[in-house]
Homo-oligomer: A and B are copies of this chain.
Amino acid sequence: MNPNETALGEPLLRSLLFAPANRPDLVLKFPRAAADCSVIDLEDGTALAEKQAARADLRNLVEQVRAAGLSGPLGVRVNAPDSPFFAEDVAAAVTCAPDVILLPKAEAVEDVLRLAAAIQAGGREIAVFAGIETAAGVLHAPQICACTRVLQAVFFGAEDLAADIGAQRTDRGDEVLAARSMVLLAARASRILAIDQAVVDIRDDERFLRDCAASRNLGYDGKTCLTPRQTALANQAFSPSAKELDYAQRLVAAYEAARARGLGAFDFEGRMIDTPLLRRAERLLRTQSTLGRSSPA
């Protein structure tokens, strides 16, 4: 998986589905869930007493889930850099050769570089996704996102951030809006992908969809998902709608017609259109074309 080899917006990462490493029953649901990236979680999802056993069984689990038919990108989330599990988790993850290793609670450039060095020492081509989910991580996000080409995405962890800063989560989410925006800006300035916060209310579809809409408005590529149900909703929510596609197609056509008359800015259905709105429409159409190529049965 190399989401960066095409222009931003074309690689798809609408859903990043996590399941605990000590829950093979959940991991083996990955093929049916069809997330754009599925993640075996050694970190928060796996209880302290189970971490060693889960790590020892990781290679087996990776083989099982591949045998069960998972063809899409597979990731492993290791424990945080300041935990006692980090070094052994990374060693175990590298030998499993997943597509991605996910680094939680990245707070400094050196956290990412340490992981990148371990991957390189293992002689593998594995991408890194970094979690920005602490105050220090948010403050250093621009430097973290820019530090290595191996880093292909960041994921924003609002629940961990709230725990770190003492915030209370609300439906509107003002308490994390600035951080959520800063992480997105940092990712975009370095042309990497950005996955937005989870919704822990796993049975509240309406809330999840509301949060997907907010994520997409902010510019995020996709959503952290806690269940196959959320995964299906995210895949839908981060795909362009028929109405959006229609508007984009008409706008591009109108722009071509205006350009033929020598105009760079013109009035289209009451809006003044010039380069930025054209770029957004073209991007939407590219995303759709990517979806068309990778469409499931």
Contacts and interface: CB of A to CB of B under 8 A. Distances in A.
A102 interface: no
A38 interface: no
Interface residues of A, number: 75
A67 interface: no
Interface stretch (A56-64, A88-96, A118-126, A266-274): A266-274
Contacts of A163: 275-277, 279-280, 283
B262 A47 contact: yes
Given A166-B280, A177-B181, 12 more contacts: A43-B275, A46-B265, A49-B259, A139-B185, A160-B275, A163-B279, A167-B218, A167-B219, A174-B177, A174-B217, A198-B272, A201-B270
Contact of A168 (B162, B164, B217, B259): B217
A263 interface: yes
A162 B276 contact: yes
Given A48-B264, A265-B45, A162 B270 contact: no
A165 to B, nearest CB: 4
A68 B277 CA distance: 33
B49 A200 contact: no
Interface in A126-183: 134-136, 138-139, 142, 157, 159-160, 162-168, 170, 174-175, 177-179, 181-182
A202 interface: yes
A160 B265 CA distance: 14
